Amino acid sequence: MGGNVTVAQDEQVEFQCVSFKWFPIPTVSWTWNSEAVNSSLYNTTSMADGDFFNCTSVLKFQAVRDTQIECRATVPLASPQSSSVYLVVVPKPTDWTVLIAVVVSIGSFALLVLLIIGIIFCYKKRKEKKTKYEDEMSRRVRTQSQISTVGAGQNQGQENTGYVPEGQTSVAPTDLTDSGFFPANGSTFSEMPDVVNSTHTGNAYITVDKPAFRKHRHVTIV
């Protein structure tokens, strides 16, 4: 023994105290910081070496703080001999394993939450775009349908059953006259000229009567 020993806090330490060629068998004891150590903490063995004895004592304990350790061997009728060592205890290194595990767990959970939020956000944006696209297409289809309907209505006319082409002197039995009556078969009518020479200016109605057929013409006289 002797000198200084440096260990980490809470570390198990072991010291040996050896005495050679003593007679009779020496008594070995330990002290720390000048206080006697409980004998349950150390073990002493002796072996004969001719007419002498060799003793070995082992002290084990857990290092908590700086301690002055001393081993003392004594025999009757003689001065005891001792040897000492100074134990230096340094703080135990911080165990970062638990902290790292906690940080990694929290980081993984936060990353998972952000990933889920991102997926939900992207899904909503995609759904909104799809809805807007469908609404726009539906609006265009409705507009196109309305335009087609209006165009068809403008192009579609109604048949004028009372119209008689110029120069035609007879009508079919199934055709209606201007007054809404069916003329007799083979009925003819006379046609008035478009312009009547006159010195008077005004409007006049000229009526031409024929059997079963009557036609009115509005003539402007100039």
- C-alpha 36/C-alpha 57 separation (Å) is 15
Q: How many residues does the chain have?
A: 222
Between the CA of residue 15 and those of 42, 58, 96, 109, 210, what are the distances in Å? Answer: 9, 6, 31, 49, 153
Q: Are strands 52-62 and 12-22 parallel, antiparallel or unpaired?
A: antiparallel
Helix, strand, coil tally for the chain in percent (to 5): 30, 35, 35
What is the topology classification, in CATH, of domain 4-90? Immunoglobulin-like (2.60.40)
User: Is the pLDDT score of 191 beyond 70?
Assistant: no
Among residues 24, 75, 25, which one has the least CA distance to residue 55? 25
pLDDT cut 90: percent of the chain above it: 25
Domain boundaries, the chain: 4-90, 171-222
Residue 77's pLDDT is what?
63
pLDDT higher for 221 or 199?
221
Across the chain, mean pLDDT equals 75
pLDDT in tens, 138-184: 888 877 777 776 655 555 555 555 555 555 555 454 444 444 444 44
Using one digit for the tens of pLDDT, what is the confidence trace for 53-110?
A: 999 999 999 999 999 999 998 887 667 777 788 888 888 777 788 888 899 999 999 9
Here the contacts of 206-213 (C-beta below 8 Å, separation 24 or greater) are 211/184, 211/187, 212/181, 212/183, 212/184, 212/187, 213/171, 213/177, 213/183, 213/184, 213/187, 213/188, 213/189
